[in-house]
């Protein structure tokens, strides 16, 4: 055990078995790859927006501030590959493409909404923690 490492159990009351290795960073770790995908900021935005209704590419691009056309295209392809969204091409001129959540993707909406609610509820505490951390860092730098 490293020096300074606490031997006491953590304070979180986590039910069920947890295995940190399930989130291993190895390339072949499916759990890590899936978490990386669904926890990506652009994926979260796309899934959240598609939770309300079917949207076209241009509507998604307009709704997601700061996303480039290339990044949105890549994000949509990855989500489609993972089975979270469905892409429908309508045979009209000009071509129309719609995106919607699959049943698998709909299963993420509640989890994403919980995460957003937690963030909204705790944003002030996080801001205070950041300010306190930055002050400690500045004090440490000034005394060094």
Token pair, residue 125, equals 């505490």
The predicted structure's pLDDT at residue 13: 62
The predicted structure's pLDDT at residue 18: 59
| Alpha carbon 106 to its chain's center | 15
Q: What percent of the chain has pLDDT over 90?
A: 63
CA dihedral 66, 97, 85, 100 (to 10 degrees): 90
Between 127 and 116, whose confidence is greater?
A: 127
User: Is a pLDDT exceeding 60 seen at residue 108?
Assistant: yes
DSSP for 41-68? HHHHHHHHHHTTS-EEHHHHHHHSTT--
The predicted structure's pLDDT at residue 37: 84
| Alpha carbon 50 to its chain's center | 15
The predicted structure's pLDDT at residue 20: 56
Q: For residue range 1-48, what is the model confidence (pLDDT) as tens digits?
A: 555 555 555 555 656 655 655 556 566 677 778 888 888 899 999 999
User: Is a pLDDT exceeding 60 seen at residue 74?
Assistant: yes
Task: Enter the pTM of the model.
Answer: 0.72
The predicted structure's pLDDT at residue 50: 95
Q: For residue range 46-72, what is the model confidence (pLDDT) as tens digits?
A: 999 999 999 999 999 999 999 999 999
Average pLDDT, the chain: 86
- Whether residue 76 contacts residue 85, with contact meaning beta carbons closer than 8 Å, is answered with yes
């Amino acid at each position: 055990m490293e020096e300074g490492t606490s031997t006491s159990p953590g304070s979180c009351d986590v039910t069920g078995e947890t295995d940190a290795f399930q989130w291993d960073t190895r390339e072949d770790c499916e759990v890590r790859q899936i978490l990386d995908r669904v926890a990506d900021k652009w994926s979260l935005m796309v899934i959240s927006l598609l939770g309300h209704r079917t949207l076209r590419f241009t509507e998604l691009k307009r709704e997601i501030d700061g996303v480039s056309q290339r990044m949105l295209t890549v994000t949509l392809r990855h989500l489609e590959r993972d089975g979270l969204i469905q892409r429908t091409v309508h045979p009209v001129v000009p071509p129309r493409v719609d995106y919607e959540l699959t049943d698998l993707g709909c299963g993420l909406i509640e989890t994403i909404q919980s995460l957003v609610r937690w963030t909204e509820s705790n944003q002030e505490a996080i801001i205070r923690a950041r300010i306190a951390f930055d002050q400690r860092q500045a004090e440490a730098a000034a005394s060094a």
